[in-house]
A and B are shown apart, each in its own frame.
Chain A
Amino acid sequence: MTQVQLAQGTSPLLAVRDVSVVFGGIVALNGVSFDMHKGQILGLIGPNGAGKTTLFNCLSRLYQPSSGDILMEGASILKRPPHRIAEIGIGRTFQNVALFPNLSVMDNVRVGTHARTSSDIISDSLRLAWIRRGESSVNKKVHEILSYLDLEEVAHTTVSGLPFGTQKRVELARALAADPKILLLDEPAGGLNHEEVYILGDLIRKIRDERHMTVLLVEHHMGLVMSIADHVVALNFGKKLAEGTPAQVQADPDVIKAYLGSKDQ
């Protein structure tokens, strides 16, 4: 599958080009490059401190790379402020769930549409006709996503009272509400039990297939990555260690060494 996609997709959807990040002398990322193609599920793996989250934060513009570039559909994203990333089709979830705890599930997902809608405070205060039209199309979309992710029952519940697994789904719903082309998932399996991880894997695949998305999966959970990713990039100490199909990466001696330690130690 990967080979087919690579063959047909000449220009990548997202290109990470020689990205380095230095924090006061510590090299967190060192010249990392890889491509993401449309429709791919790309797994980014690596032991703790490998630079996965650093790279993720570069993509969502929380960190500025010291050198290198990140191109979305050929255009650099590095000049965009963090709040202007959603509008070019990059959506994300957070490692430990970053919802708006005092808002209802619906309002959380509504905020997800912010980048795709417009308004101003005067029109909003007066609830002008175009605002009402916009709100009703937002509501339609939110309901569609809630039913897609089986969240309609809790639509009006305040998020802080929901179980962790449900909160993760709400976060996914919020990200989907912006119609992203690329979905960045930061350790989505964290805190889930064995069965939930399975369900999550199916869900990610379903979203990719039915909603035509490209997924970057940063994950600790090897089982999940190896079962759903088309392409895997392994990092260690800020460098790209290996790249290829899950089977190739799993068999790579450097990757095995990074995860299990070498025999000499």
Chain B
Amino acid sequence: MSAVEDVVTEAPAVEAVPKRAMTLGTGTSVVVLLLLLVVPVFAKNFVIFQLTQLLYLGLAVLALNILTGGSGQFSLGQSAFYGIGAYITAVMMEQFNIPYFLCLPVAGVLCFGVGFLFGQPALRLSGVYLALATFALATAMPQLLKLNFLEKWTGGVQGLVVTKPDAPFGLKMSQDMWLYYFTLVVVLAIYIFSVNLLRSRSGRAFMAIRDNEIAASAMGVNVALYKTLAFGVSAGITGVAGGLSAIAVQFVAPDSFTITLAIQLFLGMVVGGVGWLPGSIIGAAFIIFVPNIAEGISKGLSGAVFGVLLFLVIYLVPHGARQVAILGQQFASRLRKN
């Protein structure tokens, strides 16, 4: 709990306009959007695939950010919701021949339900205890996905191969390219909805609970309801991210959704900056690319190199990408003054 509070409190953006605190300025947004639109045109298929991965993992980090940065609840169980979303999408697509774009909303809604229900018993827990309860969920999920009676749909330990969709309307576009733009639209839409949500009455209720439950309750905030809603929303978005990953990777298997994934998402959130939604994509970039960089530096000791790089980030910019953004902003305004 206190770690999160520290991260958010100590950000030096005391005088910043509140909307800046959560999102990017208009100028920066336009530049980022243009980059996301244009870069794939000049990239190879593998790079496009990696960018798609960046988007859906960024979405999963964003989901955790709403839960932890928004409502102050920890979760090490995001891999479970991610796995459920991936499996719902894969099973619907492969066993029931339902088009992929219809599977994602179903995955989202069902994962919202699972998250909302899981949030009920989790209400009694907070801080590290909540983290442990969600950890249990993450540990149980791969085994649940292997259960015998589900095997005719899930394919058991073997997993399930997913067919990659072609570009529609006779568009001359590779499957990877189409999937990238499809993912981009889904992720952008959810990003905008999330920003709206956090700026709204519900979002303020989340943050009020994060900062002071008793005061929030005295202001009329139904603490139990909003805590479970935050869990539901986070799980729902994570489910959509999982569904996108199933389509992009073309394969789901129980052991893709272990606690390691949950920890990676947690890491992504911290590196991106807790409570800062645009940081999610930077956090995702860290968990995708930094292990590769570490391997490039030393094959045998890639884990150790990754550890050192992570350590450097935490030591130099403890508030993650958000801190870098704020420092950059201050530097820019100082340049303008001179």
Report which A residues bind B (CB closer than 8 A): 60, 62, 82-87, 92, 94, 98-104, 106-107, 110-112, 114-117, 119-121, 124-127, 131, 134-135, 138, 156-158, 160-161, 174, 178
- What are 9 A-to-B residue pairs whose CB atoms are below 8 Å? A83-B217, A98-B212, A100-B211, A107-B18, A119-B202, A121-B229, A121-B233, A156-B15, A160-B9
B215 engages A94 (CB within 8 Å): yes
Q: How far is the CA of A161 from the CA of B11 in the complex (A)?
A: 11
CB distance from A144 to the nearest CB of B (A): 18
How far, in whole Å, are A131 and B18 apart by their CA atoms in the complex? 19
Query: A60-B218, A119-B201, A125-B197 known; A101 and B9 CB under 8 Å?
Result: yes
Cβ contacts under 8 Å, B5 to chain A:
101-102
- Please measure, in the bound complex, the distance between the C-alpha atom of A84 and the C-alpha atom of B217, giving whole angstroms: 8
In the assembled complex, the Cα of A121 lies from the Cα of B229 at a distance in Å of 8
Interface set, chain B 4-35, CB cutoff 8 A to A: 5, 8-9, 13-18
Interface residue count for B (Cβ, 8 Å)?
37
**A121→B108 CA distance, assembly (Å):** 14
Q: How far is the CB of B323 from chain A (nearest CB, A)?
A: 15
Q: CA of A82 to CA of B225 in the docked complex: distance in angstroms?
A: 13
For B233, the chain A residues whose CB sits under 8 A away are: 121
Are B211 and A102 in contact, with the CB atoms below 8 A?
Answer: yes
Tell me the bound Cα distance from A83 to B13 in angstroms.
32
Contacts of B194 in A (CB 8 A): 125
Residue of A nearest to B226 (CB): A121
| Contact residues of A: prevailing secondary structure | helix
Mark B residues whose CB is within 8 Å of A.
5, 8-9, 13-18, 193-194, 196-197, 200-205, 207-208, 210-212, 214-223, 229, 233, 275
Q: Considering the chains assembled together, what is the distance between the CA atoms of A125 and B211 in angstroms?
A: 22
B267–chain A nearest beta-carbon distance, Å: 22
Q: How far is the CB of A142 from chain B (nearest CB, A)?
A: 11
A161, B229: Cα distance in complex, Å: 30
- Rounded to whole angstroms, the CA-CA distance of A92 and B214 in the bound complex is 11
Which residues does chain A contribute within 8 Å of B203, judged by CB atoms? 124
Contacts of A119 in B (CB 8 A): 200-202
Do the beta carbons of B219 and A115 come within 8 Å of each other? yes
Judge whether A62 and B207 touch: CB under 8 Å.
no
Q: Contacts A85-B218, A125-B193: A114 and B201 contacting too (C-beta < 8 A)?
A: yes
Contact B212 A86, beta carbon cutoff 8 Å: no
Which residues of chain A are near B16, meaning CB under 8 Å? 156
Is there contact, CB below 8 Å, between A131 and B221? Answer: no
A190 to B203, CA, bound (A): 32
CB–CB A117/B201 < 8 A: yes
User: In the complex, what residues of B have CB within 8 A of residue A83's CB?
Assistant: 217-218, 220-223
List B contacts of A116 (CB < 8 A): 220
Q: Would you give the shortest CB distance from A177 to chain B, in whole angstroms? A: 8
Residues on the B chain within 8 Å of A104, using CB: 18
B residues less than 8 Å from A100 (CB atoms): 207-208, 210-212, 215-216
The answer to whether A92 touches B18 (Cβ under 8 A) is no
C-alpha gap A112/B87 in the complex (Å): 42
Q: A102-B5, A156-B18 are in contact. Are A124 and B200 (CB under 8 A)?
A: yes
Q: How far is the CB of A58 from chain B (nearest CB, A)?
A: 13
For the complex formed, measure the closest distance between the CB of B295 and the CB atoms of chain A, giving whole angstroms.
38
Bound together, the chains give a CA A85 to CA B220 distance in angstroms of 7
Contact of B207 among A98, A103, A174 (CB under 8 A): A103
Chain A residues with CB under 8 Å of B275's CB are 102
CB distance from A24 to the nearest CB of B (A): 22
In the complex the two chains form, is B17's CB within 8 Å of A86's CB?
Answer: no
Residue from B5, B8, B16, B219 whose CB has the most chain A CB atoms within 10 Å:
B219
Q: Is the CB–CB distance between A124 and B201 below 8 Å?
A: yes
Residue of B nearest to A82 (CB): B217
Taking CB as reference atom, which chain B residue is nearest A103?
B207
Q: Inside 8 A of A115's CB, which chain B residues have their CB?
A: 219-220
Max count, chain A CB within 10 A of own CB: residue among B196, B208, B218: B218
Known: A101-B211, A125-B194, A126-B193. A111 touches B216 (CB 8 A): yes
On chain B, the residues within 8 Å of A174 by CB distance are 219
CB of A103 within 8 A of CB of B204, answer: yes
Residues of the B chain whose Cβ atoms lie less than 8 Å from the Cβ of A85 = 218, 220
A21 to B223, CA, bound (A): 25
* Least Cβ–Cβ distance between B211 and chain A, in angstroms: 4
**The 10 nearest A-B residue pairs measured at CB:** A115-B220, A124-B200, A86-B220, A100-B211, A98-B215, A125-B193, A119-B201, A125-B197, A124-B202, A83-B217
Q: How far is the CB of A198 from chain B (nearest CB, A)?
A: 27
- What separation, in Å, do the CA atoms of A251 and B16 have in the docked complex? 54
A138 to B233, CA, bound (A): 25
Q: Which residues of A contact B8 (CB under 8 A)?
A: 102
